[in-house]
Amino acid sequence: MKTTDTLISVDEARAALESLEDTHRKAILFFRPPLWLNLLAASMFGMLTMSYALMSHDNNWVLGLDLSLAGFLLSVAFMFYSYRLLGIKMKIVPASLSGKIFQAVQAVIYSAIIFGARELYLDGMAWTPYVAAVLNAGTFGYLIHHYPTGELVSKEGVK
């Protein structure tokens, strides 16, 4: 590549940044999984939340936990495999610091909901596993649909 000593103007720099951000937004639309796969993964995650909160000792919810965990892992693995067939290597952990923080916050929130629902269920609140399942499934489905790469991208251009 040839380097030049010319300086670019503020408008040219802004246009270049807008072009990069537009390309990133289009890539996110391309990375978005099909709706059926998103719903499958989200429902398996919700079932996993509900099964964990409802299981006690050796009841049937342990089987539900095992099956929902297997279904969730298979659906996520299928997402990665389908992207790999398209020639895209998706990363499990994003490269940017904001993406890592975004995923860490998600993990903390999901964990708090899962373990909180279990503790509240054991304390006698029988409705909490169902609410937690819907909350986790809805949040997971929304975030996979709007942020499939795990990166935070603004919806509008650079100002």
Closest CA to 117 of 133, 128, 106, 105: 128
- 49-60 in b/e form (b: 16+ CB < 10 A) is bbbbbbbeeeee
| Cα radius of gyration rounded to whole Å, the chain | 20
Which of the residue ranges 59-68, 87-96, 125-134 would you say has the lowest mean pLDDT? 87-96
The pLDDT assigned to 61 comes to: 87
pLDDT > 70: what percent of the chain? 91
Q: Does 59 reside within a domain?
A: yes
The pLDDT assigned to 119 comes to: 94
Query: Is the pLDDT reported for residue 156 higher than 60?
Result: no
CB 22 within 8 A of CB 153: no
Mean pLDDT of 121-135: 94
Band of pLDDT at residue 154, cut at 50, 70 and 90 = low
Q: Does 31 reside within a domain?
A: yes
Query: Is the pLDDT reported for residue 159 higher than 50?
Result: no
Q: Does 91 reside within a domain?
A: yes
Q: Could you tell me the residue range of the domain that residue 109 belongs to?
A: 10-146
